[in-house]
C-alpha cells in the first residue's frame, strides 16, 4: 500500500506542516509572557516548548499511539495554504494525508475486522464511460467484461464477503458510510476525495488506495486491484 520512500517524504511534509502551524501560537505565548513581565530567556523557552509540543503530538499520531487526527488536519490545512501560493506541487498535501493515514492504519493490523464490518468504497469514475449499466445504483448488474476494474473488484468483494458500494461524490460517500456503519473502509478515490474522506470519517479505520488517471481526472480511471486485495488480506479475519 505504501513504500518507504513515500513514508519518508510524507513524514517530512507532515512535521513541516505542523512546524509552520505552530509558529503563530509559539509567538503568541512568547509575546504574552513578555507582556506580563516574564524574563526574555524564559519567554523564549516557552515559545520553543510550544513548538515542541506540536511536534510530539504529531509523533504520537505518526507512531499510532493516538488516533486523534487533529495533528494531521493542522498539517494538511497549513500545507494547503502553502500550495495555494504555488510552493508545492498539486495534490502534495492530499497525498501526505493518504500516506500518513495508511501508515497509522498499518500500525493497527493486529486488530482484525469481520467481513460484515468492512466496506469497499469506490468512485463512479472507475466505470468505463461507454458502459450502459447504472452501476452506482446496482453494482451487481456489472457484466464483468474487463473494460474497467469494477468487475475484478466485485470478484474481490465476493471472495471476502464485504459490503461494497460505488459513490457518485463526497455526499454520496457520506450517506453510504452512514447507512453501512462500517468499522473498516477500504476506499479508492482521487487524492482530493480520498484525503477529505479520511479526515471526515474519523474514528473509522480507513485504508486509502489512490486511483490512476490514465485518461485524466474523473474519466475512465483505474486502480491497482492487487493493492486493494492486499489491504483486505491484512485487516480481515
- Over the stretch 80-98, which tens digit does the pLDDT of each residue have? 999 888 788 989 999 999 9
Instruction: Look at the pTM and tell me if it is higher than 0.85.
Output: yes
Assess whether pLDDT exceeds 80 at residue 142: yes
Burial of 229 (0-12, 13-18, 19+ CB in 10 A): middle
Q: Do 107 and 235 meet the contact criterion of CB atoms below 8 Å apart?
A: no
Whose cell is 460517500? That residue is 173
Q: Look at residue 107 and give its three-state secondary structure.
A: coil
Instruction: Taking residues 107-129, report their average pLDDT.
Output: 91
Q: Do 103 and 10 meet the contact criterion of CB atoms below 8 Å apart?
A: yes
Per-residue DSSP letter, 141 = G
Instruction: Taking residues 59-78, report their average pLDDT.
Output: 90
Q: Do 88 and 109 meet the contact criterion of CB atoms below 8 Å apart?
A: no
Q: Do 151 and 143 meet the contact criterion of CB atoms below 8 Å apart?
A: yes
Domain ranges of the chain: 4-104, 111-235
Instruction: Taking residues 122-149, report their average pLDDT.
Output: 95
Q: How many CB atoms lie within 10 A of CB 132?
A: 6
Name the grid cell of 168. Answer: 457518485
CATH number of 111-235: 3.40.50
Q: What is the pLDDT of residues 166-222, one digit of tens each?
A: 999 889 999 999 999 999 999 999 999 999 999 999 899 999 999 999 998 899 999
For residue 189, give the nearest of 126, 123, 95 by alpha carbon.
123
pLDDT of residue 107: 79
Residue 203: cis peptide before it, omega within 30 degrees of 0:
yes
CA-CA-CA-CA dihedral for 227, 230, 234, 237, to nearest 10: 130
Separation between Cα atoms, residue 202 and residue 105, nearest integer Å: 12
DSSP 8-39: HHHHHHHHHHHHHHHHHHHHHHHHHHHHTT--
Amino acid at each position: 500500500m505504501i513504500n518507504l520512500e513515500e513514508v519518508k517524504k510524507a513524514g517530512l511534509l507532515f512535521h513541516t506542516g505542523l512546524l509552520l502551524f505552530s509558529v503563530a501560537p509559539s509567538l503568541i505565548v512568547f509575546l504574552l509572557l513578555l507582556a506580563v513581565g516574564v524574563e526574555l530567556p524564559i519567554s523564549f523557552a516557552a515559545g520553543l516548548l510550544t513548538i515542541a509540543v506540536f511536534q510530539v503530538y504529531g509523533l504520537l499520531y505518526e507512531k499510532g499511539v493516538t488516533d486523534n487526527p487533529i495533528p494531521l488536519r493542522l498539517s494538511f490545512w497549513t500545507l494547503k495554504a502553502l500550495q495555494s501560493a504555488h510552493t508545492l506541487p498539486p495534490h502534495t498535501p492530499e497525498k501526505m494525508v493518504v500516506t500518513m493515514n495508511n501508515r497509522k492504519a498499518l500500525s493497527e493490523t493486529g486488530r482484525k475486522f469481520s467481513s460484515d464490518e468492512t466496506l469497499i468504497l469506490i468512485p463512479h469514475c472507475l466505470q468505463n464511460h461507454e458502459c450502459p449499466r447504472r452501476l452506482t445504483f446496482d453494482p451487481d448488474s456489472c457484466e464483468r467484461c474487463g473494460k474497467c476494474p469494477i468487475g475484478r473488484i466485485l470478484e474481490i468483494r465476493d471472495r471476502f464477503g464485504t459490503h461494497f458500494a460505488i459513490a457518485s461524490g463526497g455526499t454520496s460517500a457520506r450517506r453510504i458510510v452512514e447507512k453501512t456503519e462500517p468499522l473498516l473502509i477500504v476506499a479508492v478515490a482521487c487524492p482530493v476525495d480520498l484525503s477529505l474522506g479520511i479526515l471526515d470519517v474519523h474514528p473509522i479505520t480507513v485504508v486509502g488506495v489512490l486511483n490512476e488517471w490514465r485518461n485524466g481526472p474523473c474519466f475512465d480511471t483505474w486502480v491497482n486491484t492487487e493493492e486493494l486485495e492486499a489491504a483486505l488480506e491484512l485487516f480481515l479475519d
